[in-house]
Chain A
Amino acid sequence: MNLLLRAVPALALLVCCTAGVARADGSGDPAAVSSEDGKYADKDGTATYKISEGGKVDFYSYIGFVRYSANCLQCHGPDGLGSTYAPSLVNSLKTLSYVDVLTTVAGGKKDVSEAQTLVMPALGENKNVMCYIDAIYIYLRGRSNDAIGRGRPQAHEPRPAAFSEAEDSCMK
């Protein structure tokens, strides 16, 4: 999947979370320091959320909520909070990096023992997930840092033209 390939160089950019950062998740300090076509990045170039005055979220966080709720909620519960059979991603992303998340989503995961049978499917071929994986990650990163609350974000930035173009070519 070309989307995944495009994401892999981010691995090289990954810098371990340094001490003294006010807020950090599995990818380090989530503070947005740059943006391109309405998509924000942290100091390491990793995709991140941006919350402006009045709780307005960036477009990717918003569309991430929408696509998360269609493709991930069935197991990981509403708002990333987990269910009886899949873990809370709000917790998981406190330690999982962007690359960890992408690798798991694309390749799946198996944890089958006497005590439990946790299996996540490999979604690498699923356009409904992979065409939106950055947005889903950004949304969950915001949830994990308690920057985005439960439920549908009430206000968001307008849909960037670049997003629509990428979506169209990816979903074809």
Chain B
Amino acid sequence: MKKWDFKALLAAGILVSSASLAQPSGKDWSTPAGNVAGQRYSSLSQINAGNVSKLQVAWTFSTGVLRGHEGQPLVVGDIMYVHSPFPNTVFALDLSHEGKILWKYEPKQDPNVIPVMCCDTVNRGVAYGDGKIFLHQADTTLVALDAKTGAVLWSVKTDDPSKGATGTDAPLVVKDKVYVGVSGGEFGVRGWLAAYNIADGKQVWRGYSMGPDSDTLIDPVKTTNLGKPVGPDAGTNTWQGDQWKIGGGATWGWKSYDPASNLIFYGSGNPSTWNPKQRPGDNRFSMTIWARNADTGAVKWVYQMTPHDQWDYDGVNEMVLADQDIGGKPRHLLVHFDRNGFGYTLDRDTGALLVAEKFDPAVNWASKVDMDPKSPTYGRPLVLPQYSTEHNGEDVNSTNICPAALGSKDEQPAAFSPKTGLFYVPTNHVCMDYEPFRVSYTAGQPYVGATLAMYPPKGDTNMGNFIAWDARTGKIAWSDPEQFSVWSGALATSGDVVFYGTLEGYLKAVDAKTGKLLYKFKTPSGIIGNVMTYEHAGKQYVAVLSGVGGWAGIGLAAGLTDPHAGLGAVGGYAALNQYTSLGGSLTVFALPQN
């Protein structure tokens, strides 16, 4: 058989090359992150840095739900799909007829699932594929709806809410499969990622975050960690006894996909419990970046960012795939802004660690990530004992740890502009005191085991920043301070304008190159949803869900206190409820006629 001429095929564009890494989003916004690479970048430029100051509200829509509204709507053709938190209503709006409701799906779910949802009853949105809308409901029902009629085509149960497992994530559709993960790290749930056939809802594979190789789909020889085989029993041998069975490593974040390597990328969350003393070992593979074969779930590589977590630095944040040059060489990159405050750049084909730098200068729990391949601690964070809750022990309050448990960034996803080569990252600028203590496990009950208090870094009053990041060098290009954590996902466009929302409820547009504020508008409630854009009938629109809540809503009523204000002082920072109130609604923006 004749050997293929690889170079010739590549030149002819026949082979899938890096150029085919997911097209940017265009007229439609048909996947949660705009494209499967997780870039949240649109090729639309009708709205641009030159005219965005003229932006106006085109229309609005109420979801009728008061809880926190994370995620984003989808637009496929003439229909917009809007989801809500519990009860997880989905609306199909006809964009050709002034947003008329084509259909509405409202599942009947047992309200007992509500209290096992840590940190509000959020949902991060629906996915689309093959004429179907996919929703992962709070009660872990994965449902496929007819995109035209809303009729239920099939539904499957992915896990058990009575054990504390819940569905909050946006599914990802690739080819003939839909991928979902699970929430419940604070309930001792064992995390997993699963693939279901979009045709009939049949499970194709399921890979757990920890456990025997048959559960994790790890191959002791073929699966690598920083270039080396992980070895046998990697998912159990860093746990004491059977603790991996309630080991956490939830998978409720965003997933991305590279068609060139056929790999699915996602992160696993914190190990259960929050008391590190109670679960000795590295607790693999919590806090890990995963690369799995999309067809089989087989693990190509893993990288554990925070071995033996002691701060709840949940590793679920999005994996943004981008092709950029580093040191003059084109690289296939995976960029990840972790809760632990480090921005990681890896080679997504091999899992090689290229860059790991702090994306908030306040980060202090580790001095750096060891980048020396010859070092015995290669790839590990070098933890400072004074901020180690393991070192300080149970019933000891470790103070001034930065970032706080909600991380330098939580689930609010970043955007990437291939035009500027920069990542746009919504961040938290919050520190904490953390006291771990003994905790007892009961199935379906919270399994936390630590008390914490959160506040802005010493000397600062802003609790958030919106930053531009160069993942090739690990440096901040510019940073816009925000009074509150920025809990909204960003949108980058080829119009050189970047959008994000704030907890007070502002939609903001800034210059992609400088961060200069170009436009802002105060929506009905605080924004924890992600900004998206689409084109309909020749006009570009920008849309975002507002509706404050989620982890961010914890501080809404109370605001954060300042422990440095002295004994007995109230010292409360401005409470968010002085700025905004509850209520879910969609606000859609456009330029005025003419």
Contact = CB atoms under 8 A, between A and B. Distances in A.
Interface of A: 55, 65-67, 69-71, 73-75, 77-79, 81-85, 88, 108, 110, 112, 115-121, 123, 125-128, 149-152, 154, 171
B276 interface: no
A149 B567 CA distance: 10
A81 B568 contact: no
Interface in B514-569: 548-549, 553-558, 560-561, 563, 567-568
A55 B111 contact: no
B111 A82 contact: no
A126 B442 CA distance: 6
Nearest to B274: A70
Give the interface size class of chain B: 35 or more
Contacts of B445: 121, 123, 125-126, 128
A82 B558 contact: yes
A99 to B, nearest CB: 21
Contact of B440 (A79, A112, A127): A127
Contacts of B555: 77-78
Given A110-B111, A150-B572, A74 B119 contact: yes
Interface string B110-144: 01101110111100000000000000000000000
A135 to B, nearest CB: 12
B434 to A, nearest CB: 10
Contact of A121 (B116, B120, B548): B116
25 contacts: A65-B451, A66-B451, A69-B451, A71-B446, A74-B446, A77-B558, A78-B558, A78-B561, A81-B558, A82-B557, A83-B120, A83-B554, A84-B67, A84-B120, A84-B548, A85-B68, A117-B87, A120-B115, A121-B112, A125-B442, A128-B445, A149-B568, A150-B558, A152-B563, A171-B438
Contact of B554 (A73, A115, A171): A73
A119 B115 contact: yes
A172 to B, nearest CB: 9
A67 B449 CA distance: 9
B558 A151 contact: no
Contacts of A112: 111
A77 B550 CA distance: 12
A171 B439 CA distance: 8
Contacts of B435: 66
Contacts of A108: 115
Top 9 closest pairs, chain A to chain B, by CB: A84-B553, A121-B115, A81-B558, A69-B451, A119-B114, A82-B557, A127-B440, A126-B445, A84-B549
Given A70-B439, A73-B554, A123-B445, 6 more contacts: A77-B558, A85-B549, A126-B445, A150-B571, A152-B433, A152-B453
A67 B451 contact: yes
B451 A81 contact: no
B29 interface: no
Nearest to B556: A84
A70 B572 contact: no
B186 interface: yes
Given A77-B554, A84-B67, A85-B121, A154 B442 contact: no
A71 B445 CA distance: 10
Nearest to B446: A71
B568 A70 contact: no
A154 B568 contact: yes
B438 A78 contact: no
B358 to A, nearest CB: 26
Nearest to B547: A84
A74 B559 CA distance: 14
Contacts of B121: 85, 117
A88 B577 CA distance: 13
A65 B66 CA distance: 29
A74 B554 contact: yes
Interface in B420-455: 433, 435, 437-440, 442, 445-454
Interface in B31-79: 66-68
A74 B555 CA distance: 10
B217 to A, nearest CB: 32
Contacts of B440: 127-128, 171
B530 to A, nearest CB: 19
B326 to A, nearest CB: 41
